[in-house]
Structure 1
């Protein structure tokens, strides 16, 4: 049945209206405002003269509602107040190796995608996530993103599955953001050192689901032939490299892999599986020397006195210490605690002199020492500081602080009284001397944790007297838990 003239006309009018609407969206904002004003006039909604003598619509006011008047100042103030609230998600610029690296206030969607991909793979294999460590993961992500400090984790001898998942996801997020900025990322960008073959297989299995997101990981260990690994490295350029120290050095000597431009160096299980500590330390030092760039270093280690010097050498300063638990045994790893017994105030002064002189003569690596004294005893500091043998004193201040010089060794001694001491300043020193034992173990533990917050190794000296006998039992238990030497006089007080 043929269509009538009316139907054809309606169809043409409809298509013409569509063309008009599409053409209006293509014109400039000024022309669009004029067309809108013309439509209002035709519709009878004109309230006031909008001719050339009065005002014209503008892009800021296309419907001419303000009739040429400026925006009220109250509205401007409200808008300016809303701006600071939006700064919470504002991006900051951090300079790393001369390049701009975007630091976000919260993790990106890609990091969450990486975590969910790994967890989905665990669910498919029938494995369940053991615990939620999101707070620990966010702290690690912040440290890796800003690149300002290395990380020492003392939760246990080795990293858990969840810790490895957060670590590789954080690095993947940083790599993706760099590539988005057009920054060239070297391959491999992450070097993950493990002590055993079993650990290498575990880390590789956790990284495997990320291959679908463009992150390729390769594991190198003595369980496979070196020819097979040489062939695999020629056919791919992995972003993540998981290896034992010995096999990695073999492949580096054969020039099969280049680790000179690695951006992230992870050492998992420091001291585990290393019966010969000297050879193990030499291998790790050789690996670090091979890396010519300045990588961000993350070390997972439990209490191991033989590895304290190695951890300090690998990490350097500054560092941020992380742990899955807030126990003093975990937070104070590599921090030495020494408790000395003194019967009188005069003996305390003598003991302080002995310890400072001994530190100077032993070529102690610490250069800053904090001495915490009572206010009435602080004034007597000037009388005994001049009696230090074979040491010259310079830069003495009215507050009692001074510098000790012995041969080529210089130590800055800062003296504070208990009233003016701020515990936040304790973490700036690796060597702290408490001339009067704290009134409670909680205060002692707080000082101990703060010393360890931004230092790998440190020393806490404290003087114990008869008035502190009621704390002997708890102090003995604390020293035993931290694997520190317990003096005999404390055992006598306890008994």
Structure 2
């Protein structure tokens, strides 16, 4: 029986395909290599044959018959439910612990944190050890303490980003015109000062800005998260932010409310709202942050509507405005209502020396100075410049010793006070050393007066002898002046540049620094005019005798 045309055509096509396949395989690769390539492609595509699954998987208790061939069971994701306020606060506790784990993100590898890592040793000031996990460091844990304050935590950066996003959404902050908050230079310096454990004074002569507030409240939120991780709880607000007006309270509140989604609640108290409404509001919540004017806060404290005894961080904004408004007594009463010694941050919004006594009442211990302003007034804030015009060299010597006696409270004993004499190598120097030795002072000619030397300076009767450090005027540029609270220039033989150097480098860790200088009409009159300019620039009173000396010098020159 003859075959049909279709059958003949299929057979011919099959023969042709075989010839082509044989030709291609012989010209390219062998059959074994082709099989290896095909298997590799199947593995990459995830299309391995079911029989091969048996070769690479074993039965498990969940799949005893190996029906799934080692494949995981498909899991359906659960839809997230909205979190309540109580759950959000619990979320903050776990969030700080979770964010500590894992690899560092790209932002923490930026130049900002490399800069912080290089400066990590500067946090350990005065040779004191930093606290570890909120507790004082002990011997052997110094390295651990440095690692703890190595850099801002991820939760702090999370808070800054939350504030930045909210402010950009409201149109009150533009990242294109300004830098992102987490690389703000002022904020980095504030964080280093805060990590040192000292009180902070801002001496740029301005009030807090949006960037300042963002870094302060984010750092406070991070401290809350760290303490809660250690099992500590707060019955009182953690942060108390004192402001002079309702308008300023609204600005601070607008920054703080961005942290509400992270479990940080802020309450604003001011005379613009009924006091009954504020009392009911305080009963219904437990705020972590309080932003208030002094008079309204004291009124609520007297009614026992709010407890501020456990406040950990006190921020006083626009101190000069509070003093002029008559709220200084209220601020002092608020400070006394806080038990213990809270961390204090003061914004000195004026270069006038009139507000310094109020600052000295608030900042009792060692401080950190914070300012990005390099002006003489900013760097010498809270340092009193005392200028005395004397009739003779003997009067200068006597007044200099009298200043020294007053610095030590006229008693050889009490707390060590770092006093520096800036002198010249001449006959006056030997006369001064003899006079101080007769008064019972211990003279040190080193470049720095060490407190241990003061404690160990004993005379034959086992009485402590106050130590006085002396330095040659020619070595003043290489002398460490930061620890000296009192500097005396008994013979004004310095240049004005050296005077400014002393003024801006002394008393870095106190608000009670005093710089004494003594003039005579004969030899020091040419310096009077420039010294008057410095006093006026720093907002301090100019003695009439110094003005007369300047006029006399000008008349003689003309």
Structure 2 match to 1:94? 131
Contact 1:197 1:221 survives alignment (8 Å): yes
Contact 1:423 1:447 survives alignment (8 Å): no
Of 317, 320, 324, 1:268 maps to: 317
Q: How many residues align?
A: 414
Structure 1 residues 358 and 212: alpha-carbon distance in aligned structure 2, compared to 1, 3 A threshold = closer
**TM-score, normalised via structure 2 length:** 0.65
Contact 1:245 1:284 survives alignment (8 Å): yes
Of 53, 73, 81, 1:14 maps to: 53
How big is the shift at 1:432? 0.8
For 1:270-309, list aligned pairs within 5 A: 270-275=319-324, 277=326, 280-301=327-348, 302-309=350-357
Structure 1 residues 158 and 494: alpha-carbon distance in aligned structure 2, compared to 1, 3 A threshold = farther
Structure 2 match to 1:168? 217
Name which one, 1 or 2, has greater alpha-carbon Rg: 2
Of 332, 337, 345, 2:385 maps to: 337
Structure 1 match to 2:420? 370
**1:23-76 C-alpha deviation (Å, 9 max, x unpaired):** 9xxxxxxxxxxxxxxxxxxxxxxxxxxxxxxxxxxxxxxxxxxxxxxxxxxxxx
Residue aligned with 1:152, SS = strand
Contact 2:322 2:328 survives alignment (8 Å): no
Name structure 1 gaps, 5 residues minimum. Answer: 1-8, 24-86
How big is the shift at 1:186? 4.5
Structure 1 match to 2:553? 493
Of 482, 500, 510, 1:427 maps to: 482
Of 237, 243, 248, 1:199 maps to: 248
Contact 1:337 1:460 survives alignment (8 Å): yes
**1:108-144 C-alpha deviation (Å, 9 max, x unpaired):** 2222222232222222222335755822211211222
Distance in 1 between residues matched to 2:397 and 2:500, nearest whole Å: 24
Q: Does structure 1 residue 478 correspond to structure 2 residue 515?
A: no
How big is the shift at 1:385? 2.9
* RMSD over aligned Cα atoms: 3.9
Name structure 2 gaps, 5 residues minimum. Answer: 1-47, 63-116, 122-128, 138-144, 459-463
Contact 2:380 2:504 survives alignment (8 Å): yes
**TM-score, normalised via structure 1 length:** 0.72
Q: Does structure 1 residue 317 correspond to structure 2 residue 362?
A: no
Distance in 1 between residues matched to 2:473 and 2:299, nearest whole Å: 55
Structure 1 residues 399 and 286: alpha-carbon distance in aligned structure 2, compared to 1, 3 A threshold = same
Distance in 1 between residues matched to 2:524 and 2:393, nearest whole Å: 14
How big is the shift at 1:203? 0.7
Structure 1 residues 104 and 357: alpha-carbon distance in aligned structure 2, compared to 1, 3 A threshold = closer
**1:77-131 C-alpha deviation (Å, 9 max, x unpaired):** xxxxxxxxxx979999624764788732222222222223222222222233575
Structure 2 match to 1:68? none
Distance in 1 between residues matched to 2:54 and 2:120, nearest whole Å: 46
Distance in 1 between residues matched to 2:133 and 2:340, nearest whole Å: 11
Distance in 1 between residues matched to 2:229 and 2:291, nearest whole Å: 25
Distance in 1 between residues matched to 2:381 and 2:444, nearest whole Å: 36
How big is the shift at 1:456? 1.0
How big is the shift at 1:381? 2.5
